[in-house]
Amino acid sequence: MPKPINVNSYGKPQNFLKSIKRLFSYIKVHLKFVIIAIILAILGTVCTLVGPNLLSEITDIVTDGTNYAQIYNETEFKQNFNSGLYELIISQDSSNEYYDEATESFLIPIIVDGEEIVTSFKLEENGSIYVTYNSLAKVNLVKITKIAVTLIILYSLGVVFNYMQGFIMSGVSQQISKKLRTDITKKINKLPLNYFDTTSYGDTLSIITNDVDTINQTFNSSVSNLVSAIILFFGSLSLMFVHNYIMAFSAIGAVFIGFLLMMLIMKKSQKYFLLQQENLGNLNGVVEESYSGHDIISVYNAEKEFDKKFDDVNKLLYVSNWKSQFISGIMNPIMAFMGNFGYVVVCVVGAVLLINNFPGVSVGTITAFMIYIRFFTQPLSQIAQAMTNIQSAAAGSERVFDFLDQSEMDDESDIKLAINDVKGNVEFDNVYFGYNQDKMIIKDFNLSVKAGQKIAIVGSTGAGKTTIVNLLMRFYEITKGKIKIDGIETNKITRDNVHRLFGMVLQDTWLFEGSIKENLIFNTENVTDEQIVNACKACGIDYFIRTLPNGYNTILDDNTSISAGQKQLLTIARAMIQNSPMLILDEATSSVDTRSEEYIQKAMDKLTKSRTSFIIAHRLSTIKNADLIIYMKDGTIAESGKHNELLRKNGAYAELYNSQFQS
Ligand SMILES: Nc1ncnc2c1ncn2[C@@H]1O[C@H](COP(=O)(O)OP(=O)(O)O)[C@@H](O)[C@H]1O
Ligand SMILES: [Mg+2]
């Protein structure tokens, strides 16, 4: 049966808001913690944002304290200092004790803010006076220390807030994925087999692993990242405007130009990234094909062709990889350029404003802007990243919820009726069934089986033999009619109850990773070693098991090489150990040789004795002694009766039997 691959696997969500809303119902329980984490993220970001302000203050104190120069005309000077000092400087008296020959200026200590600062007064040619507060002056270290300590405290708090935020969020996201995984696993047990017929296993597996993981990752990082990025972005933006709107506009302009450049390159490289993904997929396909089909490729001498196929795809992948890597390699330098370009713009504009005495602009302002511009550009890529992550999480949750929304088998919790001591009368009454409602596979199927009878079902492939068994086991619900066990309809008791009544051996053997003994016991309780050995002896597999390195304790895994036939014998032995009141064997002996089959035949005769059993077999010699043989064709019984009766009838069964007899 071809299973459709979910094409929308990793694409965009079809209904973003709906999936996010649904996801929110999982967050609700942890909402308190999420809010705390978001508040912590906000606090942490605010701590970071305040930093540049304080750094700006430090810079100003340092520049104020060192060289600071200003030009005064006569009236300004007289206002700021006094006329006596003005007269002295105008006099240019070289004999004055404060006159400095080398610089042709007066070096006079004056008191500023209670501190003595050596200040140079120099007469310019146009009559104004150039005043330089000299570098001998003291920087206000006390003030700086205070600010520095505040900064350290703020930054430390920022680290603590961010750590706590991360700690809480990772806890919450693990809780959410745990809940999702639990829900999915519970769901799997409630799904009708029908679901698995129409969905590939890989798809379902990928929901449990990849999709849940994507959701987890997004919660873990993106949510709080997004919050801090947005705050950092708008915070730095508004703080820039608070400091100086001209510089703010130039900074935004610079970033905008850089951003345009980046978008341009992104657009160009996108094509190659897509190609890269596609080629990678193709390469995987070829590798998988040649790996899984290794035998066939060797048998048909197709190695050369596969080599060529691989080479072609490999070459394509190389080219697209190379190009996308080249372009993304350019990305980092450009990003760096963008940041530096912003610095330059802010510095130049700031310097121009500073020289023109623009109110409120100081060296400290420029320092602050250089940091703000980084705070401003950095969140842009973070926001973009977080948005993509959230989008894939939405796509992932859409798939998860789609799965969780699949219609389930009917709830059976209020079913009280149970069959415990079964006699084994089975009745099919007018049964109709189709895997799809528009195509009936089983049509008007009627069969009455008495307790202890051995029923053989034969017929060509696709006649509906396995389907009958599936219906008997209630793996699928019948469309019309009734199936009764001991007179009770099977849909009036629980599925578990039905399953408990039957032992089943199928053509597809199912063994799990574990010791042989564990595989044999599987779900049966109170099994003694003696019972196990007896069952294996009956199936003729005891000797083989003893030759294995650890006997019954040998671990079965991918490395244990046992043949298909041996696997089948193990599952038959398992059914014997299970000792259920009724038995179903669906082509159970199709992959064992005729000698082993004889063994099993004997074992099976013991097994089926006084047990109602349904045996589907291809080799008719094995079912000759059945109480009733039914020959199926297109979902109905074409012929039925005992072996000899059917042979005498000389119909389809006789023809099939004779054809096997001749070969
Ligand atoms: N899981 C399924 N979903 C849809 N159709 C199915 C499924 N299993 C079997 N069929 C179809 O039902 C018909 C009977 O199949 P089956 O009972 O397995 O035949 P048999 O066991 O006699 O070889 C076939 O035409 C087959 O294609
Ligand atoms: Mg079959």
DSSP summary character for residue 4: -
Highest mean pLDDT: which range of 114-118, 396-400, 433-437, 506-510: 433-437
Q: How far is the CA of 403 from the centre of ligand 1 (A)?
A: 25
Question: In the predicted model, is pLDDT for residue 138 greater than 80?
Answer: no
- HSE-CB for 235 with a 13 A CA cutoff: 24
> Of 502 and 80, which is predicted with more confidence?
502
**42 CA distance to ligand 2 middle (Å):** 63
Between CA 332 and CA 321 the distance in angstroms is: 17
Average pLDDT, stretch 575-602? 81
Distance 2 CA to ligand 1 centre (A): 12
pLDDT score at 4:
36
Report d(CA 149, CA 50) in Å as an integer: 13
Q: 9 pLDDT exceeds 50?
A: no
pLDDT tens digits along 277-294: 778 778 878 887 787 778
Ligand 1 atom 26: residue of nearest CA: 462
What are the φ and ψ backbone dihedral angles of 238, each rounded to 5 degrees? -70, -35
Please give the Cα distance from 555 to 549 (Å, whole number): 10
Q: Cβ atoms within 10 A of the Cβ of 124, count?
A: 11
Q: What pLDDT was estimated at residue 66? A: 64
Q: Over 90: is that where the pLDDT of 450 sits?
A: yes
Going from the Cα of 433 to the center of ligand 1, the distance in angstroms, rounded, reads 11
Among residues 522, 528, 532, the alpha carbon closest in space to that of 499 is found at 522
CA of 464 to the centre of ligand 1 (A): 6
* Number of Cβ within a 10 Å radius of residue 82: 11
C-alpha separations of 569 from 200, 476, 572, 574, 609 in Å: 29, 27, 5, 9, 19
Q: What angle do CA 100, 105, 108 make, to 5 degrees?
A: 80
Residues with CB under 6 A from ligand 1: 1, 197, 435, 441, 459, 461-467
285-303 as b/e: b if 16+ CB within 10 A:
ebeeebeeeeeebeeeeee
Q: With 60 as the cut, is the pLDDT of residue 8 above it?
A: no
Residues 6+ apart with CB under 8 A from 100: 106, 107, 120
Which numbered ligand comes closest to the C-alpha of 439? 1
Ligand 2 centre to CA of 279 (Å) is 39
Residue nearest to atom 21 of ligand 1 (CA): 466
> Please, are residues 505 and 575 in contact by the beta-carbon 8 Å criterion?
yes
Q: Which residue has the higher pLDDT, 528 or 141?
A: 528
Pick the residue with more confidence: 218 or 456?
A: 456
Cα 262 from Cα 258, distance rounded (Å)? 6
Q: Is the dihedral of CA 117, 122, 123, 128 positive or negative?
A: negative
Q: What are phi and psi of 614, to 5 degrees?
A: -115, 120
DSSP symbols for 60-109: HHHHHHS-EEEEE-HHHHHHHS-HHHHHHHHHT-TTSTTEETTTTEEEEE
Q: Tell me the C-alpha distance between 562 and 548, whole Å.
A: 10
Query: Which mutation among 439, 440, 441 tests ligand 1's pocket best, with the greatest number of atoms within 8 A of CB?
Result: 441
pLDDT at 109: 83
| Pairing of β 99-100 and β 105-112 | antiparallel
For the CA of 468, the closest atom of ligand 1 is: 17
Task: Give dist(CA 616, CA 610) in Å, integer.
Answer: 18
Q: Cα(1) to centroid of ligand 1, in Å?
A: 9
Closest atom, ligand 1, to C-alpha of 197: 1
Q: Which residues in 325-349 are b (16+ Cβ under 10 Å) and which e?
A: eebeeeeeeebeebbebbbebbeeb
Measured CA to CA, the distance from residue 71 to residue 91 in angstroms comes to: 18
Q: Identify which ligand lies nearest to the alpha carbon of 457.
A: 1
Predicted confidence band of residue 10 (pLDDT cuts 50, 70, 90) = very low
Average pLDDT over residues 391-402: 84
For a mutational test of ligand 1's pocket, the pick from 467, 506, 585, i.e. the residue with the most ligand atoms closer than 8 A to its C-beta, is 467
CA of 447 to the centre of ligand 1 (A): 20
d(CA 55, CA 43): 19
Token code pair at residue 70: 């200003």
Exposure b/e, 520-534, CB count within 10 A at least 16 = b: bbbeeeebeeebbbe
- Phi and psi of 19, rounded to 5°? -65, -40
Q: Which residue has the higher pLDDT, 657 or 326?
A: 657
**pLDDT above 90 coverage of the chain, percent:** 22
Q: Ligand 1 center to residue 615 CA distance, Å?
A: 17
Ligand 1 atom showing the smallest separation from residue 587 Cα: 21
Query: Atom 25 (ligand 1): residue with closest C-alpha?
Result: 462
pLDDT of res. 467: 94
524: Cβ–Cβ under 8 A, 6 or more apart, which residues?
Answer: 577, 578, 579
| Mean pLDDT, residues 518-546 taken together | 88
3-state SS, residue 447: strand
Least-confidence region, from 32-36, 104-108, 138-142, 657-661:
138-142
Q: State the DSSP code for 620.
A: G
pLDDT tens-place string over residues 17-73: 888 888 888 888 889 998 999 899 899 988 888 888 888 888 888 776 666 677 888
C-alpha angle 356-358-359 in degrees, rounded to nearest 5 = 150
Span 381-392, mean pLDDT? 79
Among 435, 479, 507, 587, residue to substitute to test ligand 1 (most atoms within 8 Å of Cβ): 435
The tokens of 512 are what?
């799990």
- Angle at which helix 363-404 crosses helix 223-243, to 10 degrees, equals 150
Confidence of residue 627 (pLDDT cuts 50, 70, 90): very high
Please give the number of the atom of ligand 1 that sits closest to the Cα of 465.
22
Length of the chain: 663
Task: Determine the pLDDT at residue 50.
Answer: 85
Q: Whose CA is nearest to atom 8 of ligand 1?
A: 467
Spell out the long-range contacts of 245-251 with Cβ–Cβ below 8 A and sequence spacing 24 or more.
Answer: 246/349, 246/353, 246/358, 247/346, 247/349, 247/350, 247/353, 247/361, 247/365, 247/366, 247/369, 250/345, 250/346, 250/349, 251/342, 251/345, 251/346, 251/369, 251/372, 251/373, 251/376
Copy the structure tokens of residue 182. 């639990």
Q: Is 487 left (phi over 0), alpha (psi -120 to 50) or beta?
A: left
Atom of ligand 1 nearest to the CA of 459: 22
| Position in ligand 1 atom list of the atom nearest CA 635 | 14
- How far from each other are the two terminal CA atoms of the chain, in whole angstroms? 31
| Beta-strand runs (E) in 366-421 | none
Q: What is the pLDDT of residue 134?
A: 65
Q: State the average pLDDT for the chain.
A: 84
**Whole-number Cα distances in Å, 424 to 449, 455, 501:** 8, 12, 9
In the reported structure, the alpha carbon of residue 635 is separated from the centroid of ligand 1 by a whole-number distance in angstroms of 10
Give the tens place of pLDDT for each residue, 330-373: 777 777 777 788 888 888 998 888 888 788 788 888 888 888 88
Model pTM score: 0.66
